């Protein structure tokens, strides 16, 4: 073991019984740098203030209890070495006074006390929302349902989830829309959509696609992928749900999410940059570049999106009105747009599904067994309403 060193933990505290708001408190702890931030918190609780509340159990990144934000990043306190957390916060300013390691409760959740959050409404309710159990055909087999091991590989990544809520804490869409089903629950949904024993694949996908807070509410920000301590990559699972719903099942959602996604890809393919002036039109009237289709649904969708466009202008996301006029989107320097187009082409040609256990195409011929790893055929479900 290395020698113990001193660290300062700056903890965001909240004691409802005090009747005052949240406040920061600093604790000095002495620990081997390879021990965890959780060890530091427990030392502070043991030696300085027994009322400091933190939830933990296994201390080995298994139980999922100790989710917090360390230096602003949602993670597990037991998985974060205190020495690394200290290095991270002081990496830019080595000559000044050492900055403390900040520890806060997880985001997007009500705080019960200090670092303990209420995960019921923001996590568990949403997990229940996706029917987190297998829906079989109701006739139990004599012994067991036999599933080829290869077909389970696809969902192994989602099975690794320990329900810690770090992804929920980090999710930017959830900050804007607390009703968003969220990364953890949608990853859980894929666990059953991808399971060949489940007989309600289409129903599940239809439900998640039509829900305005469902799979099309994710903005691809990658925050959940960064936060997840178990490599579940919830955003990737959401993208798989989208592909299964939009491409495989042909579900056209009322949120226009699938068309919006196709519009993004189409514009990037053609221009090598995202021309926002075309995005709304291509999303609602796909295929008619430069002209609007006078279909009632397209017009309704476009009009309904006007407040978003105005907000984009106001906040500077769309920097000038001129950029809304087709054809005047600024060119990227040099051959940058050509590069992007080539990346798109490459992705189209080599777009294998990747997860922790499927390595995809890496300049090697796939093993014969890998060919069996494509998602199983979806079961027959209800037809989409006309």
Q: Compute the distance between CA of residue 192 and CA of residue 200 in angstroms, rounded to an integer.
A: 9
Based on the shown chain and the rule CB under 6 A, indicate whether residue 51 belongs to the binding site for ligand FES: no
Of 2, 4, 58, 134, the one binding ligand FES (CB under 6 A) is: 58
Q: Considering the complex, what minimum distance in angstroms separates the CB of residue 212 from ligand FES?
A: 33
Distance of CA 22 to the CA centre of its chain: 28
Tell me which of 52, 54, 65, 168 binds ligand FES, using CB under 6 A.
65
- CB closer to ligand FES out of 62 and 340: 62
Q: Where does this chain touch ligand SF4 (CB under 6 A) — which range of 143-151, 164-172, 323-331, 340-348?
A: 164-172
Can you tell me the distance from the alpha carbon of 233 to that of 170, in angstroms, rounded to the nearest whole number?
13
d(CA 7, CA 84): 11
Strands 23-31 and 67-70: unpaired
Query: How far is residue 274 from each of residues 64, 104, 278, 337, measured CA to CA in Å?
Result: 39, 37, 9, 10
Q: Is 29 helix (H, G, I), strand (E, B) or coil?
A: strand
Which C-beta is closer to ligand SF4: that of 29 or that of 235?
235
What tokens appear for 228 in the block? 């997840």
Task: Take residue 105 and report the two structure tokens written for it.
Answer: 């409760």
Q: How far is the CB of 190 from ligand SF4 (least distance, A)?
A: 11
> Which residues inside 171-230 make contact with ligand SF4, applying CB under 6 A?
171-173, 183-184, 187, 218-224, 227-228, 230
| Dist. CA 122–CA 127, nearest whole Å | 9
* 153 is a site residue for ligand FES (CB under 6 A): no
Give the x-and-dash track for 70-89 against ligand FES (CB under 6 A). Answer: ------x-x-----------
Centroid of chain to Cα 321: 32
Which residues bind to ligand FES, rule: CB under 6 A?
Answer: 56-59, 61-66, 76, 78
Q: By the criterion CB under 6 A, which residues form the site for ligand SF4?
A: 161-167, 170-173, 183-184, 187, 218-224, 227-228, 230, 232, 234-235, 238
């Amino acid at each position: 073991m290395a020698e113990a060193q001193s660290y300062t933990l700056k903890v965001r505290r909240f004691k409802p019984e005090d009747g005052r708001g949240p406040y920061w408190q600093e604790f000095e702890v002495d620990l081997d740098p390879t021990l965890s931030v959780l060890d530091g918190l427990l030392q502070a609780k043991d030696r300085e203030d027994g009322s400091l509340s933190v939830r933990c159990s296994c201390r080995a990144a298994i139980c999922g209890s100790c989710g917090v934000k360390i230096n602003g990043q949602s993670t597990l306190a037991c998985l974060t070495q205190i020495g690394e957390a200290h290095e991270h916060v002081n990496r830019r300013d080595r000559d000044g006074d050492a900055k403390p390691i900040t520890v806060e409760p997880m985001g997007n959740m009500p705080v019960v006390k200090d670092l303990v959050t209420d995960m019921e409404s923001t996590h568990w309710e949403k997990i229940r929302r996706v029917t987190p159990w297998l829906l079989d055909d109701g006739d139990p087999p004599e012994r067991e349902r036999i599933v080829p091991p290869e077909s389970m590989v696809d969902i192994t990544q989602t099975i690794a989830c320990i329900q810690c809520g770090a992804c929920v804490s980090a999710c930017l869409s959830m900050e804007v829309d607390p009703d968003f089903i969220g990364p953890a629950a949608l990853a859980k949904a894929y666990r059953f959509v991808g399971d060949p024993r489940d007989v309600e694949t289409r129903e599940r996908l239809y439900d998640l696609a039509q829900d305005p807070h469902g799979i099309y509410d994710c903005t691809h920000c990658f925050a959940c992928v960064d936060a997840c301590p178990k490599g579940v990559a919830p955003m990737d699972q959401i993208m798989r749900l989208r592909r299964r719903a939009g491409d495989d099942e042909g579900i056209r959602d009322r949120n226009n999410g699938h068309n919006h996604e196709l519009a993004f890809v189409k514009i990037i393919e053609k221009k090598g940059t995202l021309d926002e002036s075309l995005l709304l039109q291509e999303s609602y009237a796909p295929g008619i570049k430069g002209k609007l289709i006078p279909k009632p649904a397209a017009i309704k969708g476009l009009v309904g999106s006007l407040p978003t466009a105005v907000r984009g202008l106001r906040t500077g996301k769309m920097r000038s009105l001129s950029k809304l006029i087709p054809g005047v989107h600024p060119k990227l320097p040099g051959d940058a747009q050509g590069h992007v187009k080539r990346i798109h082409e490459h992705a189209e040609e080599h777009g294998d599904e990747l997860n922790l256990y499927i390595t995809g195409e890496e300049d090697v011929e796939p093993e014969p067994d890998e060919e069996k790893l494509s998602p199983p055929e979806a079961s027959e479900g209800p037809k989409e309403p006309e």
